[in-house]
């Protein structure tokens, strides 16, 4: 049976696809593809929950749990701009104190991040979205949810904070799940990359490190650089994306995501002026740091030192 026919057959029998399209129906900007494609990946992930734990490996179980957590808690959707994503991938998360400060300042704990269409796995599969979750052991209520006849119980966690990223791609055939722990201001990482049943290549290990860094930085941006969020209200379901009035023939309400980095441009590119000197194109890595501030310089402010692009 051809893949397209199998997909149509599954869609006609899916429990969660029609629910997602009805109750979480988002309108995305063009560079992020169609919401129906993301809804399909989500539903494929959620439908397998009926198989039970004995049929799923640990990575699939946790990915399904976090996907349901996003859906049942009605958590927001953020579209990550290409310019901002490129710079975050070129930034090292190497300041433990700046990361530890997130425990008391992180503004939300579960969200969906939607990626530009060029972002792909090492195997070349497009990554349409990812679910991000900040799980604090002291606040278990933020990791549970219920609704639609389903209840998610709290999953005991090893560290004070567990920071997860997960997604499905290739029509649910591939599951990615990775996490980072925080304990006493220190980053804790499980070096066993193969959390599921798959064998992990060196390229995939490098990619997992990128995902871990990206996840931490998204929470840091939301906490320390909220100006990167556009002013569109995520709950405003009557406005077309980028327009002040509903589109013509508007018949059913849709949701509209917030943009993260919609107007972002790297300062080294914005201020670039040709010098006539030819240099090999490269980038100097960005990083996060703390600087003294406030009365008597007793407080600490977290700042992002952005990557510096050379030779463009």
For 220-233, write each residue's pLDDT tens digit. 999 999 999 985 44
- Assign residue 232 a region: left if phi > 0, alpha if psi is -120 to 50, beta otherwise? beta
Provide the 10 A C-beta neighbour count for residue 43: 24
Q: Are 83 and 261 in contact (CB under 8 A)?
A: yes
pLDDT (0 to 100) of residue 279: 54
Provide the 10 A C-beta neighbour count for residue 108: 15
Rounded-to-integer distance, Cα 82 and Cα 119, Å:
9
The two structure tokens encoding residue 299: 């407080």
- Residues 58-82 as b or e (16 or more Cβ within 10 Å = b): ebbbbbbbbbbbbbbbebbbbbbbb
Rounded-to-integer distance, Cα 6 and Cα 93, Å:
43
Q: Interhelix angle for 82-89 vs 202-224, to 10°?
A: 120
Beta strands in 108-223 (DSSP E): 110-114, 129-136, 145-147, 150-152, 161-169, 174-183, 186-188
pLDDT (0 to 100) of residue 311: 63
Extents of the domains making up the chain = 9-231+253-265
pLDDT (0 to 100) of residue 241: 42
pLDDT (0 to 100) of residue 148: 96
pLDDT (0 to 100) of residue 172: 74
pLDDT (0 to 100) of residue 293: 82
For residue 248, the Cα-to-chain-centroid distance in whole angstroms is 32
User: Beta strand pairing status for 286-293 and 91-92?
Assistant: parallel
Candidate ranges 29-33, 192-196, 240-244; pick with highest mean pLDDT: 29-33
pLDDT (0 to 100) of residue 97: 61
pLDDT (0 to 100) of residue 239: 40
pLDDT (0 to 100) of residue 64: 94
Rounded-to-integer distance, Cα 264 and Cα 81, Å:
8
Rounded-to-integer distance, Cα 132 and Cα 67, Å:
9
pLDDT (0 to 100) of residue 139: 93
Rounded-to-integer distance, Cα 63 and Cα 66, Å:
5
The residues near 3 (Cβ < 8 Å, ≥ 6 apart) are: 171
pLDDT, the chain, mean = 83
For 97-153, write each residue's pLDDT tens digit. 667 678 788 889 999 999 999 999 999 999 999 999 999 999 999 999 999 999 999
Residue 297 has pLDDT above 90, yes or no: no
Nearest 5 degrees, angle CA 164-CA 111-CA 304? 75
Counting residues of the chain whose pLDDT is more than 90, the rounded percentage is 49
Q: Are 111 and 69 in contact (CB under 8 A)?
A: no
pLDDT (0 to 100) of residue 277: 53
pLDDT (0 to 100) of residue 236: 39
For 67-102, write each residue's pLDDT tens digit. 999 999 999 999 999 999 999 999 988 656 667 678
Choice between 198 and 60, residue whose per-residue pLDDT is larger: 60
For 231-277, write each residue's pLDDT tens digit. 544 443 334 444 444 444 444 478 999 999 999 998 877 555 555 55
pLDDT (0 to 100) of residue 245: 44
When pLDDT is cut at 50, 70 and 90, the band that residue 301 belongs to is confident
3-class SS of residue 26: strand
Residue 171 has pLDDT above 90, yes or no: no
pLDDT (0 to 100) of residue 278: 53
pLDDT (0 to 100) of residue 2: 55
User: Beta strand pairing status for 286-293 and 258-260?
Assistant: unpaired
When pLDDT is cut at 50, 70 and 90, the band that residue 59 belongs to is confident
Rounded-to-integer distance, Cα 129 and Cα 168, Å:
8
The pTM score is 0.86
- For residues 186, 94, 198, 68, the Cα torsion angle rounded to the nearest 10 degrees is 70
């Amino acid at each position: 049976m051809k893949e397209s026919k199998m997909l149509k057959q599954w869609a006609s029998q899916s429990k969660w696809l029609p629910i997602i399209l009805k109750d979480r129906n988002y309108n995305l900007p063009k560079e992020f593809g169609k919401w129906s494609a993301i809804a399909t990946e989500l539903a494929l992930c959620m439908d397998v929950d009926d198989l039970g734990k004995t049929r799923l490996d640990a990575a699939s179980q946790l990915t399904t749990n976090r996907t349901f957590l996003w859906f049942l808690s009605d958590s927001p959707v953020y579209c990550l701009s290409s310019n901002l994503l490129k710079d975050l991938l070129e930034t090292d998360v190497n300041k433990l104190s700046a990361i530890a400060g997130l425990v008391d300042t992180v503004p939300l704990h579960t969200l969906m991040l939607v990626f530009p269409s060029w972002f792909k796995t090492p195997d070349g599969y497009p990554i349409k979205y990812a679910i991000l979750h900040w799980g604090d052991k002291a606040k278990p209520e933020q990791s549970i949810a219920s609704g639609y006849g389903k209840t998610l119980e709290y999953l005991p966690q090893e560290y004070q904070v567990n920071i997860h990223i997960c997604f499905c791609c290739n029509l649910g055939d591939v599951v990615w799940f990775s996490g980072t722990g925080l304990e006493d201001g220190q980053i804790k990482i499980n070096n066993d990359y193969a959390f599921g049943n798959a064998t992990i290549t060196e390229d995939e290990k490098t990619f997992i490190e990128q995902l871990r860094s990206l996840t931490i930085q998204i929470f840091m941006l939301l906490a320390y650089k909220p100006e990167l969020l556009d002013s569109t209200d995520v709950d405003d379901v009557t406005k077309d994306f980028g327009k002040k009035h509903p589109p013509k023939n508007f018949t059913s309400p849709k949701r509209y995501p917030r943009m993260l980095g919609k107007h972002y441009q790297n300062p080294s590119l914005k201020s670039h002026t040709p010098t006539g000197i030819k240099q090999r194109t490269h980038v100097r890595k960005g990083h996060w740091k703390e600087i003294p501030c406030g009365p008597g310089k007793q407080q600490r402010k977290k700042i992002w030192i952005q990557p510096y692009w050379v030779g463009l």
